[in-house]
Amino acid sequence: MISADAARNVVGIIGNVISFGLFLSPVPTFYRICKAKDVEEFKADPYLATLLNCMLWVFYGIPVVHPNSILVVTINGIGLVIEAAYLTIFFIYCDNKKRKRALAVLAVEVVFMVIVVVSVLLAAHTHEKRSMIVGILCVIFGAMMYASPLTVMGNVIKTKSVEYMPFFLSLVSFLNGVCWTAYALIRFDLYVTIPNALGTFFGLVQLILYACYYKSTPKKEKNVELPTVVSGNVRGR
């Protein structure tokens, strides 16, 4: 019979693959930006939010904070690099006003992370305390990210159209949430369970809305800017 650790690793690896796909979902948007040499009406907010989320989860997963969480570090580390690449492209092609705003937000995020890292390492001297502090922050910011698609879902109900809520992204978001919730439950991790359970719920709601309003949607695809909530960012992989 397969051990709990082995099952957890298998589920975590599957979660890494799904989450990697989610991180790559904005590629068509940035291809369009590069081709047009203009960010048009796209915003940096989703990518800045995901970047902060990845930084928090990488810190959560390192051995001095939460041992035996290498799968958290790997996928969120990859996500960190990918989001940085997206933001670099955004900075290159956006106007000065958007660039200054995005850089200001990025600077705040970096300062925030430095404060978190230094405070946790100096003030908390056990894995339990460090995991709790960083885990709570991950849950708070993860919940905020998962709440962001609510505006998109509200628009779907209002317009009776899923034009701005692609089926594939909704499906993968749901599967990602399911996978990481299962991962967290095998060896219970509250801080991984909460954001990914929320991701599962909101992903399911999106799929239900898609089924309800697909037929009334004009047959025309457009880019969308849902945040890459890699399941709580692969929370607690």
Neighbours of 41 (CB within 10 A): 7
Select from 182, 176, 192, 234 the least CA-distant residue to 11.
182
Select from 117, 151, 141, 131 the least CA-distant residue to 50.
141
Q: Is residue 33 part of a domain?
A: yes
Burial class (CB in 10 A: 0-12, 13-18, 19+), 19: buried
- Chain center to CA of 188: 21
In this prediction, residue 237 carries a pLDDT of 39
Q: Is residue 195 part of a domain?
A: yes
Q: Is residue 234 part of a domain?
A: no
Tokens of 144: 């905020």
In this prediction, residue 199 carries a pLDDT of 86
- Chain center to CA of 163: 22
Q: Is residue 126 part of a domain?
A: yes
Domain count, the chain: 1
Distance of alpha carbon 171 from alpha carbon 169, whole angstroms: 5
Q: Is residue 193 part of a domain?
A: yes
Q: Is residue 229 part of a domain?
A: no
Q: What is the pTM of this model?
A: 0.80
Q: 226 and 199 in contact (C-beta within 8 Å)?
A: no
pLDDT (tens, 9 = 90+) of the chain, 237 residues, equals: 678 888 888 998 998 999 998 899 888 889 989 999 998 878 888 889 889 999 999 999 999 999 888 888 999 999 999 999 999 999 999 999 999 999 999 999 999 999 999 999 999 999 999 999 999 999 998 877 776 677 778 888 888 888 767 788 788 889 988 999 998 898 888 888 998 898 899 889 989 998 998 888 776 544 545 555 554 444 443
In this prediction, residue 219 carries a pLDDT of 65
Residue in the block written with tokens 């019979």: 1
Distance of alpha carbon 25 from alpha carbon 77, whole angstroms: 17
Buried b (16+ CB within 10 A) or exposed e, 217-227: beeeeebbbbb
In this prediction, residue 162 carries a pLDDT of 81
- DSSP letters of 113-163? HHHHHHHHHHH--SHHHHHHHHHHHHHHHHHHHHHTHHHHHHHHHHHT--T
* Helix residue ranges per DSSP H, the chain: 4-24, 27-36, 45-61, 70-93, 96-123, 127-147, 149-159, 167-186, 190-213, 231-234
Q: 126 and 183 in contact (C-beta within 8 Å)?
A: no
Give the domain range for residue 204. Answer: 4-214
Q: Is residue 47 part of a domain?
A: yes
Q: Is residue 56 part of a domain?
A: yes
